[in-house]
Structures are given as structure tokens and as C-alpha cells.
Amino acid sequence: MSSKRKDQIRALLKGIETGDPASVTVVNEDQYIQHNPQTLEGSEGLAALFKRLSKTSPRINIVRIFEDGDYVFAHTEYDFANSNIGFEVFRFENDKAVEHWDNIQLRQGPNPSGHSMVDGPTEATDLAQTEVNREIVRCFVDDILINRRFEKLEHYIDQRFTQHNSSIADGMPALQSALESTTDQGIRIQYDRIHRLLAEGNFVLAVSEGFFEGVHSAFYDLFRTADNRLVEHWDTIEEIPPRSDWKNDNGKF
């Protein structure tokens, strides 16, 4: 489903590729809060930044994009010096974007079931079920990912479960095996808290914090639901740099 805000964010992200100064007019730069710890606020206007970046011939593909109240969130492919997959989240006040979060991971895969990190359905359906689906994902993250109650997995995971994580195959057994795996540092995948749940229809994005292979990390997990169960999953995992390396004071979340 298209909307003005979605179209504005599509244009903004494509502006990195084109260098079009009109693309950044959706952003209120006087109020803009940047949560990417690697981005220095106020050092360069977005129009100048995009013009500079466009000269490196980047390629940006917005695979899927959704809207939840004052938030627009997008699942994207980036080809700069490296090929990356990312989630972008923008918060609006009135007609302007005033806050931004993201989570970016080097492209990997295909996974053992042959899926890429981005293929699959792209359009939200079941819009009347948005709040039901948000609650399903909230309970799943709390029960399974944070509290590790794996005996409840079959309550949440559909037999058709399709996995886009680059190292995990389709189905509930593969997911459970991955979640239960350990390394020399202990639990391989450890979720500690949910920061945000964004939803449109049958798509829900969970933004969480924890540790991956012992490294402090941000988890962005996008789920597709059907019949009150989780049927598909995409994600990115990004290391959170130590506080001493942050280039702004806004925090990852």
C-alpha cells in the first residue's frame, strides 16, 4: 500500500544513488536525530552528503516498505564498496522526518534452503490484524528469544516457516537448533530486551538488543504472519560499537 510518507522515504533513500537535492526535503534537519553511532551529526547537510555519495555510483533498492503511525520502515539492499542489507526506520512529525535508526549487515547467503536475505513477499495484507500480529511477535520475542522457552516454539511457528537468515534453513527444527547453539563464550544468540515493535498488517519488525557470539549487537527481525502464526523471517544483526567510538550521543536505539 502506497502513501505519501512511504513515497517520500523511497525518494530520500534513492537520493543517495541519484544525488537529487529534492530528495532530502522530507527531513527537518534542524530537529533530525540520528541513531547510527557511526554518523557525525551536523558535520554536513544531507543534500551535500548525498551529492558526494552519488559520485561513488552507489545502488539502492528498497525491497519492501511499511508504515506504522508516525514511523516508516524499509528493508533495503545497498551496493556501495560492499553489498549490504539493511533496515531503515524513520519517525515523522507532521510532514517531516525527524529521527532515524538503521541496522545494516554484509550480504550473505543464500541460506541452506536457497533463500536470499531479501526475497519473498513485499506487500502488507491483513491490515485489520495489525495489532494482533504485533502482539504475536511481542510474545514470541519475549517467550522464545529473551526467555528461551523453546517448548513454546510450536505455538508460534507455522509448518510453512520460511527462513531468510543466511545460516539457518527453513522450518522450526532448524530455528530451534540455531537458538540453542553455543560457542566458547556461551549462548550464541542472546536477546536481552525489545526496544521497538513496528507493524503494518501481516509484517512486524522487532528491534531488539543482545549479544551475538559474545558481541553486543542490535537485532532487527522482520516477521510475516498468517493465521496467527509466524510464517516467514528476515533479519540483520549489527555489532554495536563501544560508547567511546560513537560519533553522536543519541544511542543505537
Q: Are residues 131 and 225 in the same domain?
A: yes
* Burial status of residue 238 (CB atoms within 10 A of its CB: 0-12, 13-18, 19 or more): buried
Alpha helices in 111-234 (DSSP H): 130-140, 153-156, 172-180
pLDDT over 80 (residue 110): yes
Residue 38 lies in a domain: yes
Report the residue count for the chain.
253
Mean pLDDT value across residues 132-157: 97
The domain that holds 153 is classified in CATH as: 3.10.450.50
Number of domains in the chain: 2
Starting at the earlier edge strand, list the strands of the sheet with 189-200: 157-163, 229-239, 215-226, 203-212, 189-200
| CA angle, 97 then 3 then 222, to 5° | 75
Q: Are residues 150 and 83 in the same domain?
A: no
Q: Are residues 134 and 233 in the same domain?
A: yes
| 53-108 pLDDT per residue, tens | 888 888 999 999 999 999 999 999 999 889 999 999 999 999 999 999 999 999 99
What pLDDT does residue 43 have? 60
Residue 115 lies in a domain: no
Q: Are residues 99 and 133 in the same domain?
A: no
Mark which of 77, 107, 137 sits at the end of a domain: 107
Q: Are residues 194 and 98 in the same domain?
A: no
Residue 117 lies in a domain: no
What pLDDT does residue 1 have? 58
Residue 116 lies in a domain: no
The model's confidence at residue 235, banded by pLDDT at 50, 70 and 90, is very high
| 172-190 pLDDT per residue, tens | 999 999 999 987 778 999 9
| 1-60 pLDDT per residue, tens | 569 999 999 999 999 999 998 999 999 989 999 999 988 876 667 878 888 888 888 899
Q: Are residues 9 and 90 in the same domain?
A: yes
Residue 118 lies in a domain: no
- Per the listing, cell 536457497 goes with 114
pTM of this structure: 0.95
Residue 177 lies in a domain: yes
What pLDDT does residue 51 have? 87
Q: Are residues 48 and 142 in the same domain?
A: no
| 188-215 pLDDT per residue, tens | 999 999 999 999 999 999 999 999 999 9
Range of the domain at 81: 4-107
Q: Are residues 75 and 146 in the same domain?
A: no
Residue 67 lies in a domain: yes
Q: Are residues 98 and 163 in the same domain?
A: no
pLDDT over 80 (residue 131): yes
Residue 26 lies in a domain: yes
